[in-house]
Amino acid sequence: MILLTPELRDQLRANDQARCDALRRGDPAPDPAPVVRFFNPVGAATWLATELDEDGILFGVADLGFGCPELGSFALEELESIPLPFGLRIERDILFEGKFPLSVYAQAARSAGSLIEGERILYKAAAAATGDA
């Protein structure tokens, strides 16, 4: 699977450019919703990304499954080159839609000790608030 379609790449690059422009103007950096989620199909690692710079470095939340998800940068090339059992590779969640700003996902993940559990809590709370629970 190709991890980034041209459309996803364009959205990630636009977010990176918006952040750079805001910082150049002295404005606070934007806090966009994640554009893409990557995951290990045979493990607990999960990544959400909001930006991609010109060098192929993504920015977002990384959770390698050790109980300490964090905001940071990670290389697209490294995600693409991780060998997994049975010939599998890191995958992109084709159904993912970022519903909250990245900072909300990051805080929920840190509080829960897991990005996946943090997302579950966020979506349950959002559903309860709208009466969809």
Average pLDDT per 10 consecutive residues for the chain, totaling 133 residues: 93 98 96 98 96 97 95 96 94 96 97 96 91 70
CA nearest 40: which of 80, 98, 74?
80
pTM assigned to the model: 0.93
d(CA 125, CA 132): 10
For 48, 69, 93, 126, the CA distances from 89, given in Å and listed in that order, are 17, 21, 13, 32
- Amino acid occupying residue 42: V
- In the structure encoding, which two tokens stand for residue 21, read together? 């422009």
If we measure between CA atoms, which residue out of 83, 77, 79 comes closest to residue 92? Answer: 79
